[in-house]
Amino acid sequence: MIDWGAIFSNAAVELISPTTAAYALAALGLAIHFGYTGLLNFGQAGFMALGAYGYAISTLSFGFPVWAAVLVGIGASVIFALILGIPTLRLRADYLAIVTIAAAEIVRLLFTTNSFEPITGSANGLSGYKGGFADLNPIPDGTYGFGPFEYNAYDWWLRIVAWTIVILACLFTWQIMRSPWGRVIKGIREDEDAVRALGKNVYFYKMQSLILGGVFGTVAGMIFVLPRAVVPSNYQTSLTFFIYAILLLGGAATILGPVIGSMIFWVLLSFFSGFIARAVEAGWIPFMTSIQAGQLRFILVGVAIMLIVIFRPQGIFGNKKELAFVK
Amino acid sequence: MSSNSVPTAKPVKTVGMHIGEAVPGCKKKDPILVVDSVSRTFGGLKAVDVEHLEIPRGAITALIGPNGAGKTTLFNLLTGFDKPDTGSWTFEGTPIGGMAAFKVARMGQVRTFQLTKALGLLTVMDNMLLGAKAQVGENLFRAVLPFLWRQQEADNRVKALDLLARFKLDTKKDDYAASLSGGQRKLLEMARALMSDPTLVMLDEPMAGVNPALTQSLLDHILNLKAEGMSVLFVEHDMHMVRHIADWVIVMAEGRVVAEGDPHEVMRNQAVIDAYLGQHHDEDLGEDPDAEKQNVGAIKELLDDEL
């Protein structure tokens, strides 16, 4: 018989997991790029990889403290954004898409190659960089919480930090998007020539947006690796597409959309994988092995996202009116 | 308001702006824009090849010419939206040849587009506010601190409401620009350009696609620009409108300035008739009889108006 309680509690755990927070923050960065500025960045996985590796390498190879390791990651992503942006932001939007998708793959392959094995750990990745972050933990040892949300001190510390960063990033984004800066950014999304004709340095604004959203992705990459190890295969293009799925699910030009979208995405994913695995065990799906079942969850999530995009194309928080006008 | 697109009250024309004969490239007493040997080729086609041109200050100048004469290309060059192969030009005495479009706009030379560029998913008010110059809150770091820009924003809002009221768009201020009609978008684009207090307003076909009921108010708005001391340069095909509001007309054909002058004089110029009808119009109607017929119609219209 299926243990529904376990399925639901495993799904509920995803609501506040650090991975959900990391995806929410990366999706918020993408909302700045795609939803507000209209930049087609398909390389968010590359920004996340730079955050993860920037943090891990500067901790492991150079013994940097946490704050310096964070700054290294952010610095790397700013440079990455400049390299991507300088040649492409003067061109049409689709060129940025091509360049970012390729650049993110280059970043991942550079971290995977054996040539830099002593520093990057090659395909095995890196681990053992969490000491500095754990030492900052003010929570005394022990287990806290209730029901499915019962964690030790490190896990609570990680969740508190991760979601604090997400909340701060949301407040920051909300504030700048309702400022004159945000108005210019949204104007660029609508028609950059018109904004240029009004005396705004469109190229400069697009660069700022690319860097800002990229930094969000980088910090997300750091949060993403704190509960696990740094593994290069995590930063494939599919990661970017999951983040796009989250963004479209929540609403592209919204603040809360990426956060709620990430929660829904991870809860659904956990629910489906738990349900299918147990259903196969219980013999409900006789034609399927448990390995096949592991892949089926992505198919089901894909179907769920298709349904949402078809029947609620503006996302959960998007404004229906915005889609009433066909461009 | 009359449904007739040509109003009865005659606007006050500015005269005597040029020095010497009204020939192509003639000097003006007080030019705001001076263009020298500007050329732009697209492949083998020389789209613009202007030796010398001066745009008078405080007047309404029309840039006319048959299709493909290079009017819009010249417009794009002068506003920094395209780069010339050769040439230089000065705006209020400052050389701005090859300067980026946003810098040109900041200097007080703003333009509108032939295909209206209303920012559809921004509200009408946001469209207007975007036009304001030197906004403190447009800096990313200062954007985070609303107390730095709140006052300026409020002032801009008052100014925008005033302009919107003049353009009869104030009731639409909270609507998305995408919900406006084509003519209202033209008005919005013009009002938005005025938010920056320009000295030279460049309108690319302001009447294209505007229904006759709105034509009158658009004309009045253009005349108002002049009354408020701005200079206007516009591209237009509607000859009635050119004759009615322009103080000075520049005629382009095949990339060159072929004639300049007072709107009534210039239409009689042989070069203008040649430009519209083709040099051998009395011999052959050419490959595209429809276009020729339209041009013949345009010229007839002009001559009728004269009588």
pLDDT digits (tens, 9 = 90+) for A126-164: 888 888 888 888 888 888 888 888 888 889 999 999 999
Nearest CB to B143: which of A181, A190, A198? A181
Q: Is the pLDDT of residue A68 over 90?
A: yes
Higher local confidence (pLDDT), A233 or A293: A233
Q: Please judge whether A193 and B117 are an interchain contact, meaning their C-beta atoms are less than 8 angstroms apart.
A: yes
Please report whether residue B292 resides in a domain.
yes
Rounded Cα gap, residues A149 and A270, in angstroms? 15
* Candidate from B130, B137, B143 with C-beta closest to A187: B130
pLDDT at A125: 87
B108: left (phi over 0), alpha (psi -120 to 50) or beta: left
Question: Is the pLDDT confidence value at B287 over 90?
Answer: no
Tens of pLDDT along B217-239? 888 888 888 888 899 999 987 77
Predicted local confidence at residue A210, as pLDDT: 95
Own/partner pairs for B205-209, CB < 8 Å, 24+ apart? B205/B114, B205/B234, B205/B235, B205/B236, B205/B237, B206/B112, B206/B234, B206/B236, B207/B236, B207/B237, B207/B238, B207/B241, B208/B114, B208/B237, B209/B116, B209/B182, B209/B183
When mean pLDDT is compared over A2-16, A58-72, B39-53, the highest value belongs to: A58-72
- The answer, for A170 touching chain B at a CB cutoff of 8 Å, is no
Q: Is residue B86 part of a domain?
A: yes
By CB neighbour count within 10 A (0-12 exposed, 13-18 middle, 19+ buried), where does A143 fall? exposed
B279 pLDDT tier (thresholds 50, 70, 90):
low
pLDDT at A78: 96
Interface contact B271, partner A, CB < 8 A: no
Q: Looking at the complex, does the CB of residue A322 fall below 8 Å from at least one CB of chain B?
A: yes
Of B120, B122, B153, the CB nearest to A180: B153
Find the closest chain B residue to A325 by CA distance: B178
| Of B122, B138, B270, nearest in space to B185 by CA | B122
**Could you give all domains of chain A from N- to C-terminal order, each with its CATH number?**
4-323 (1.10.3470)
For the ranges A75-79, A94-98, B69-73, B171-175, the maximum mean pLDDT occurs at: A75-79
| Minimal-distance CA residue of chain B relative to A171 | B144
Distances (CA, A) of A133 to A47, A55, A154: 21, 11, 9
pLDDT tens digits, one per residue of A29-39: 999 999 899 99
Place A55 in a pLDDT band, splitting at 50, 70 and 90. Answer: very high
Flag whether pLDDT at B3 surpasses 70: no
- pLDDT-derived band at B4 (thresholds 50, 70, 90) equals very low
The whole-angstrom separation of Cα B6 and Cα A152 is 81
Most confident of B112-116, B124-128, B250-254: B124-128
| Sheet architecture: strand order including B45-56 | B45-56, B31-42, B86-91, B94-95
- What is the structure's pLDDT at B6? 46
pLDDT tens for each residue of A173-195: 999 999 999 999 999 999 989 99
Q: Is B13 on the interface with A (CB under 8 A)?
A: no
Burial of B301 (0-12, 13-18, 19+ CB in 10 A): middle
| Residue B7, pLDDT score | 47
Option in A181, A187, A191 nearest B139 (CB): A181
CA-nearest residue of chain B to A202? B102
- Asked if residue B161 is part of any domain, the answer here is no
pLDDT value of residue A88 = 87
Mark yes or no for CB contact B179/A189 under 8 Å: no
Domain span at B245:
31-118+180-306
* B115/A contact by beta carbon, under 8 A: no
Residue B284 binned pLDDT confidence (cut-offs 50, 70, 90): very low
User: pLDDT tens digits for B79-123?
Assistant: 988 888 888 888 888 888 888 899 999 988 999 888 888 888 899
Residue of A177, A179, A320 to mutate when probing chain B, most B C-beta within 10 A? A179
**Rounded average pLDDT over A93-109:** 91
The pair of three-digit structure tokens given for residue B104, joined into one six-digit string: 């040109």
Of A76-85, A301-310, B42-51, B170-179, the range with the lowest mean pLDDT is A301-310
Interval B134-138 mean pLDDT = 88
Q: Is residue B154 within 8 angstroms of chain A, CB to CB?
A: no
Nearest chain A CA: its distance from B22 CA (Å): 32
Would you call A184 and B138 a contact, using CB atoms and an 8 Å cutoff?
A: yes
Q: Counting one residue from A and one from B, how many pairs have CB atoms under 8 Å apart?
A: 108
Domains held by chain B: number? 1
Q: Are A267 and A15 in contact (CB under 8 A)?
A: yes
Torsion of CA B275, B279, B285, B291, to 10 degrees: -10
Closest chain A residue to the Cα of B196, Cα to Cα: A198
Chain A partners within 8 Å of B140 (Cβ): 176, 181, 208, 212
Do A190 and B136 count as a contact with CB atoms less than 8 A apart? no
Q: How far is B151 from chain A (nearest CA, A)?
A: 12
Q: Which residue, A127, A323, A327, A106, is CA-closest to A236?
A: A106
Question: How much is the average pLDDT of B206-224?
Answer: 82
Q: Tens digits of per-residue pLDDT, A197-207?
A: 999 999 999 99
Considering CB atoms only, which of B103, B143, B176 is closest to A180?
B143
Torsion of CA B230, B236, B239, B245, to 10 degrees: -10
Distance CA B176, CA B120 (A): 6
The answer, for A320 touching chain B at a CB cutoff of 8 Å, is no
CATH number at residue B74: 3.40.50.300
Q: CB distance B79–A197 less than 8 Å?
A: yes
How far apart are alpha carbons A275 and A277 in whole angstroms?
6
* pLDDT confidence tier of residue B266, bands split at 50, 70 and 90: confident
Confirm or reject contact between B149 and chain A (CB < 8 A). Answer: yes
> Which of B184, B180, B170 has its CA nearest to residue B121?
B180
Average pLDDT over residues B61-65: 89
Verify whether the Cβ–Cβ distance A194 to B113 is below 8 Å: yes
Asked, for residue B187, whether it belongs to a domain, the answer is yes
Residues 64-93 of B with CB under 8 A from A: 79, 81
Whole-number pLDDT of residue B8: 46
Q: Does B112 touch chain A (CB under 8 A)?
A: yes
Task: Using the structure block, give the residue that is written with the tokens 């009116």.
Answer: A321
Residue A254 in contact with partner chain B when CB distance is under 8 A: no
Alpha-carbon separation of residue A121 from A116, A214, B108 (angstroms): 7, 24, 57
Q: Who has greater pLDDT, B147 or A312? A: B147
CB B286 within 8 A of CB B292: yes
How near does any CA of chain A get to the CA of B139, in Å?
Answer: 6
User: Per the CB < 8 Å rule, is B135 touching A180?
Assistant: yes
Signed CA dihedral, B34, B39, B42, B47: sign only: positive
- DSSP annotation of B135 reads -
CA distances in angstroms from B259 to B56, B238, B269, listed in the order given: 15, 18, 7
Contacts of B146 in chain A (CB under 8 A): 175, 179
Residue to mutate among B112, B140, B152, with most A CBs inside 10 A, is B140
Q: Taking CB atoms and an 8 Å limit, are A198 and B113 in contact across chains? A: no
Query: What pTM does this model have?
Result: 0.87
Q: What is the mean pLDDT of residues B162-182?
A: 88
B135 has a chain A CB within 8 A of its CB = yes
Contact between residue B177 and residue B123 where contact means Cβ atoms under 8 Å apart: yes
Q: Is a pLDDT exceeding 80 seen at residue B15?
A: no
What per-residue confidence (pLDDT) applies to A304? 74
Q: Is B179 on the interface with A (CB under 8 A)?
A: yes
Residue B168: pLDDT above 70? yes
Would B24 be classed as within a structural domain? no
Check if B186 contacts A (Cβ < 8 Å): no
Residues B251, B254, B258, CA angle at the centre, nearest 5°?
Answer: 35
Note whether residue B152 is domain-resident.
Answer: no
Q: Contact at 8 Å (CB) between A123 and A233? A: yes
Most A-contacting residue of B130, B186, B200 (CB-CB within 10 A), to test interface: B130
Across B124-132, average pLDDT: 92
Q: Rounded to a whole number, what is the distance in Å from the CA of B249 to chain A's nearest CA?
A: 24
Q: Which of A180-194, A268-282, B170-184, B277-291 has the lowest mean pLDDT?
A: B277-291
Q: Cα dihedral sign for B111, B114, B118, B124?
A: positive
In the structure, what pLDDT confidence band is assigned to residue B285 with cuts at 50, 70 and 90? very low
pLDDT higher at A286 or A21: A21
Is position B200 within any domain? yes
Q: What is the ipTM of this complex?
A: 0.83
CA–centroid distance for A152 within its chain: 25
Q: Searching chain B, which residue's CA lies closest to the CA of residue A187?
A: B119
- A135 interfacial to chain B (CB closer than 8 Å): no
